[in-house]
Amino acid sequence: MFYRLVYNLLIHLFSPLLLALLYWPKKGKPGFGKRWPEHLGLVTSTTGEQPVWLHAVSVGEMIAATPLIKQLKAEYPELPILVTTTTRTGADQAAKLGDLVEHRYAPLDFPWAVALFLRRVRPRALLIMETELWPNWLAACGKRMLPVMVLNARLSARSADRYRKFHRIFCLLSQNITHIACQYQDDADRFADLGLPQGRLSVTGSIKFDIDYDDAVREQGQVLRAQLGTERPVWIAASTHEGEDEQLLATHLNLLESHPNALLILVPRHPQRFDQVAALVQKHRLSLHRRTQDEPVATPQVYLGDTMGELPIMLAAADIAFIGGSLIERGGHNLLEPAALGKPVLTGPSTFNFNDIRRELQQAKGAGVVTSSQMLAQTLMQLFADEPQRNAMGAAALSVVKANQGALSRTLTAIGNQLPL
C-alpha cells in the first residue's frame, strides 16, 4: 500500500509533464482530436455486454495482436472485444480491423481514470500484449477479481535486473496477474526467478513468428521494385531512430562508391521524424524521393518511406534489410518481418529486446550483426556481390520463421484455459 501511495503521489505530481509529452503537438505527429478524454477514462462502449479488453500500446504490439484477434473472433464469433492503444498510430492500426473490434484509447494510470474506465466498460478480462504493466490497472483489476493475462510476454535480463532491485514493487504488480504466456523459456525462467509460481507461467512462443503475408503484399512489393529499378541493388533500413540515420546515410555514401546505382529505402520509426530525415538526406547531398510524392520515381539515391502501415511492401521490394534501433542503444526492433519475406537480415549490436530471435536467426545464418556503419557498408558490398549467398541467407531467415510458427494456436489454448469466454 505504501508503494502505491508513493507512486500515485508521483504520477499526479508529474502529471503536467506526462500530459505535455503525450499531447504536445509536433510536426508530423498525429493528434488525438476530440477523443483525448478517453485517456482519462471518459469512454463509452457500444458492445452492450462485457467485452474482453485487449491492450496493445502502439503499432508494433497492435500488428502482433491482429492475427490473434482475428482467430479469437473466428473461434468465438459472439465475443465482444474492446481494443485499447495509448498512441494514435496504434489506433490507426486497430482501425484496420473494422467491425471485428471496438477501439478506445487506454486510460492513463491515474487510479480515478482506471476506475472510471472499468466502471463504464465492465470488461470480463484483460489481455495485455507483451509486458505493459501498470500498477493501478493491475490493482483495479485485482480489486474487481478480473482475470489478467499477459500475452507474448518477454522479460529481458536488463528488465529482470531492474525488477530485482525493486522486488517488492514487482510482487505488488505480479500478485494481480492471472497468467503470463511467455515468448521463450528464458523469459519464463526470469519471471520464475522473480518469484512467479510455475503454475502461472507458460511458454507459447512468439506470436510474431506467425506472420503470414498475403500475395497482395508481395505483388505490391514487385510493383514498387519495378518503379525503383529491377537492375539496381536496393537495401532498406527500417524502423530507424535519431542518431542512427546519420550512420546509415554514411553507409550508403560508402556503398555508392562501389555501387553507384544503389538505392537506400529509408523508413524512420516515428512519423514525426519524416521531415527531419528528409532534410538530413538533402544535407548529405543525396537525391531523394518521398513515397508520398505523386510524381513518378526517377532514379533517386534514397527513397523515404514516409507513410504508415506500408513497411511490408517496402521490405518486399528490397534485396537486403537492415533493422534499426540497433546501432544505438534502443534494443532493436522486429527482425521477423523481413525474415518472413525471405530477405537477408542485418542488425546492429543493440538487440536486447529481441536477443532470442536474433540469436536464432544468426545461428541459422539468416541474419548478421554489424557493429558500425563501415562494417554495414562492407557487408552490403559482399552480399550484393554474391547473389547465391544473399539468396541462401534469405531462405535461412524464412526457414526460422516457418519452424517457429504455432505460437498463435498455443496462445489461444492458454486464453481458453484461463479466461471465461
Grid coordinates representing 417 are: 484455459
Any residues with CB less than 8 A from the CB of 183 and at least 6 apart, and which? Answer: 152, 153, 154, 203, 204, 205, 206, 356, 407
Q: Angle between the 185-193 and 157-165 helix axes, to the nearest 10 degrees?
A: 10
Averaged pLDDT, 233-247: 97
CATH annotation of 35-42+49-210+405-418: 3.40.50.11720
CA atoms of 262 and 9, how far apart (whole Å):
55
What confidence score (pLDDT) does residue 56 get? 94
What confidence score (pLDDT) does residue 314 get? 98
What confidence score (pLDDT) does residue 386 get? 97
* Band of residue 2 on the pLDDT scale cut at 50, 70, 90: confident
Residue 264 above 80 pLDDT? yes
Averaged pLDDT, 320-326: 97
Active site positions, annotated? 61
CA atoms of 326 and 350, how far apart (whole Å):
4
What confidence score (pLDDT) does residue 296 get? 61
Residue 242 above 80 pLDDT? yes
Residues of the chain with CATH 3.40.50.11720: 35-42+49-210+405-418
In this structure, the number of other CB atoms found within 10 A of the CB of residue 313 comes to 23
* Band of residue 299 on the pLDDT scale cut at 50, 70, 90: confident
Residues of the chain with CATH 3.40.50.2000: 215-403
Residues 155-195 have pLDDT tens digits of 988 899 999 988 888 888 899 999 999 998 999 999 999 99
Q: Which residues pair with 320 in a beta bridge?
A: 235
Grid coordinates representing 114 are: 482506471
Residue 6 above 90 pLDDT? no
What confidence score (pLDDT) does residue 63 get? 81
What confidence score (pLDDT) does residue 14 get? 86
Residues 270-280 have pLDDT tens digits of 888 999 999 99
| Through-space distance between the first and last CA atoms of the chain, rounded to whole angstroms | 32
Angle at 297 between CA 394 and CA 270, to 5 degrees: 65
Of 70, 98, 105, nearest in space to 84 by CA: 105
Query: Of the ranges 236-240, 256-260, 329-333, which one carries the lowest mean pLDDT score?
Result: 329-333
Residues 350-399 have pLDDT tens digits of 998 788 789 999 999 999 999 999 999 999 999 999 999 999 999 999 99
What confidence score (pLDDT) does residue 197 get? 93
Residue 30 above 90 pLDDT? no
Residue 21's Cβ-count burial label (10 Å; 0-12, 13-18, 19+) is: exposed
What confidence score (pLDDT) does residue 23 get? 78
What confidence score (pLDDT) does residue 27 get? 60
Query: Of the ranges 20-24, 108-112, 186-190, 325-329, which one carries the lowest mean pLDDT score?
Result: 20-24
Residues 114-155 have pLDDT tens digits of 999 999 999 999 999 988 889 999 999 999 999 999 999 989
Grid coordinates representing 358 are: 536474433
Q: 154 vs 344, which has greater pLDDT?
A: 344
* Band of residue 206 on the pLDDT scale cut at 50, 70, 90: confident
Model pTM score? 0.74
Domain 215-403 grouped into CATH 3.40.50.2000: yes
Of 375, 388, 300, 311, nearest in space to 344 by CA: 388
CA atoms of 223 and 296, how far apart (whole Å):
13
Grid coordinates representing 148 are: 489478467
Q: Please, what is the average pLDDT of the chain?
A: 91
Q: How far is CA 118 from CA 145, 175, 388, 390, in A?
A: 12, 19, 56, 52
